């Protein structure tokens, strides 16, 4: 007997060779499955998207025992993996559809779902677009979940759009992310700009990671630590590449070290700790965003030094997870980790177990949604 059934709609096949992006979807699929739930991934490809993503996604689903639980919708009503009638059946039988950023927009399929839940993983952008009349990604959904932990709170500048938001932390399938000792460098895996441009809202420009990271360029010159960024950065940002390297940041192509879930995990677990800068949107608005990548570092027993976005109101900081707002605070946090690496490593894993375990995170989410139906 299944405890529940969920269909998760997410864009994974669009980014073959992006192991961290794949892990984002896997954490939900594996987390719900570990709770005894039936899981289904629904994705889509259109002619503008890389066809190689189909083979990539199929390989990852096989690797994690999900080979019978995915479908990619194709033009003309075709599909790869599960056929459309089976997708329709699973949607109708599910407790809810978890629609990441409203990615599934097929009206016929959406109508099959008894409860349509929007999962916001990029807090600030969609809300401001809606308030500015540019787009409404939330239309057609019944409930609204966000990783913006402070959304709707008095200190958060992200508009709530008169919607009731359920905050959630990023889940980690802890059995897949054991603690690993050792490592020499502070690392991270990141995108310099990403698909969304800056947003002008409320008389302020809310920017990207590129805009925020420039404030911390001098960090390697301030501390006796080595830093390596597996950074997806366009050659057109040659000036930024040169500034980063000149300041002491070692740059690595993420396609070389994190091209699939296994290599991504290996890169993180070979690190000493993470150093993480947020998108300016998240930091400026105090959204409370916390990275699913940083959650993987913590689970691996790797301390995280992360730019404060307001997540410190929801997660313990000071040991294992250290927050900063200025380059001076970042330098002090790095030196603290270097001074007592074993203590911070233990605390990192403890934070993951206590706060980010997929069973706990997803169990709380289901309780908040009140969405469980009878399954036999």
Return d(Cα 294, Cα 356) in angstroms, integer.
10
CB 99 within 8 A of CB 145: no
Average pLDDT, the chain: 95
> What is the model's pLDDT at position 1?
45
- DSSP calls for 247-291: HTEEEE-HHHH-SSHHHHHHHHHTSSEEEE---HHHHHHT-----
> What is the model's pLDDT at position 52?
85
186-191 and 96-100 strand pairing: unpaired
Return d(Cα 139, Cα 279) in angstroms, integer.
25
List the one residue out of 66, 68, 62, 63 whose CA is nearest residue 83: 68
Average pLDDT over residues 103-132: 96
Which letter does DSSP use for residue 324 in this model? E
Please say if the pLDDT value at position 356 is more than 90.
yes
Q: CA angle 98-197-118, nearest 5°? A: 10
> What is the model's pLDDT at position 90?
98
> What is the model's pLDDT at position 230?
97
State pLDDT tens for residues 194-207: 788 899 999 999 88
Q: Is 346 exposed, middle or buried (0-12, 13-18, 19+ CB in 10 A)?
A: middle
Average pLDDT over residues 75-79: 88
What is the distance in angstroms between the CA of the first residue and the CA of the last residue of the chain? Answer: 5
Q: Where are the beta strands (DSSP E) in the chain?
A: 4-9, 37-44, 70-73, 79-81, 96-100, 116-120, 143-146, 165-167, 186-191, 199-201, 204-206, 227-232, 249-252, 273-276, 304-307, 321-324
Please say if the pLDDT value at position 45 is more than 50.
yes
Tokens of 235: 């050659």
Continuous segment of H or E residues that includes residue 225: none
Return d(Cα 46, Cα 370) in angstroms, integer.
34
> What is the model's pLDDT at position 77?
86
Return d(Cα 205, Cα 203) in angstroms, integer.
7
Q: Which residues contact 169 (CB under 8 A, 6 or more apart)?
A: 147, 149, 290, 295, 314, 315, 355, 356, 361
> What is the model's pLDDT at position 135?
93
CB 45 within 8 A of CB 72: yes
Please say if the pLDDT value at position 376 is more than 70.
no
**Residue 220 φ then ψ, to 5°:** -60, -25
Return d(Cα 341, Cα 109) in angstroms, integer.
50
How large a percentage of the chain has pLDDT more than 90?
Answer: 91
> What is the model's pLDDT at position 208?
85
Please say if the pLDDT value at position 375 is more than 80.
no
State pLDDT tens for residues 225-282: 999 999 999 999 999 999 999 999 999 999 999 999 999 999 999 999 999 999 999 9
pTM listed for this prediction: 0.96
Return d(Cα 172, Cα 23) in angstroms, integer.
9
pLDDT tier, 374 (very low <50, low <70, confident <90, very high otherwise): low
Average pLDDT over residues 28-32: 98
CB 187 within 8 A of CB 228: yes
**Residue 229 φ then ψ, to 5°:** -110, 120
User: Which of 54-63, 70-79, 261-270, 360-369 is the least confident region?
Assistant: 70-79
State pLDDT tens for residues 148-170: 999 999 999 999 999 999 999 99
C-alpha distance from residue 338 to each of 47, 222, 266 (Å): 49, 13, 21
């Amino acid at each position: 007997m299944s405890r529940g059934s969920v269909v998760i709609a997410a864009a994974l096949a669009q980014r073959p060779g992006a192991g961290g992006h794949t892990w984002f979807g896997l954490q939900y699929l594996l987390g719900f499955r570990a709770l005894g739930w039936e899981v289904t991934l629904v994705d889509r490809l259109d002619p503008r998207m890389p066809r190689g993503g189909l083979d990539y996604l199929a390989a990852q689903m096989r690797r994690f025992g999900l080979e019978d639980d995915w479908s990619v919708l194709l033009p003309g009503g075709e599909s790869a993996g599960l056929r459309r009638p089976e997708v329709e059946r699973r949607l109708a039988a599910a407790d809810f559809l978890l629609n990441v950023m409203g990615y599934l927009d097929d009206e016929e399929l959406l109508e099959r779902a008894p409860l349509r839940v929007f999962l916001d993983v990029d807090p600030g952008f969609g809300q401001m677009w809606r308030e500015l009349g540019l787009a409404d990604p939330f239309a057609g959904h019944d409930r609204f979940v966000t990783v913006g932990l402070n959304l709707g709170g008095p200190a958060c500048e992200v508009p709530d759009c008169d919607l009731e938001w359920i905050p959630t932390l990023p889940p980690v399938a802890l059995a897949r992310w054991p603690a690993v000792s050792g490592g020499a460098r502070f690392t991270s895996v990141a995108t310099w700009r990403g698909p969304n441009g800056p947003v002008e809202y409320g008389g302020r420009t809310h920017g990207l990671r590129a805009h925020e990271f420039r404030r911390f360029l001098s960090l390697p010159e301030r501390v006796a630590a080595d830093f390596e960024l597996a950074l997806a950065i366009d050659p057109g940002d040659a000036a930024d590449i040169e500034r980063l390297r000149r300041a002491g940041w070692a740059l690595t192509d993420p396609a070389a070290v994190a091209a699939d879930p296994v290599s991504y995990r290996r890169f993180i677990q070979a690190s000493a700790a993470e150093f993480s800068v947020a998108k300016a949107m998240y930091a400026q608005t105090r959204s409370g965003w916390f990275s699913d990548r940083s959650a993987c570092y913590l689970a691996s027993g790797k301390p995280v030094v992360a730019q404060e976005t307001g997540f410190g109101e929801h997660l313990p900081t000071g040991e294992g997870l250290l927050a900063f707002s200025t380059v001076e605070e970042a330098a002090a946090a790095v030196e603290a980790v270097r001074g007592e690496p074993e203590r911070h490593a233990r605390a990192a894993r403890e934070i993951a177990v206590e706060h980010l375990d997929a069973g706990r995170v997803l169990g709380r989410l289901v309780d908040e949604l009140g969405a469980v139906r009878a399954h036999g």
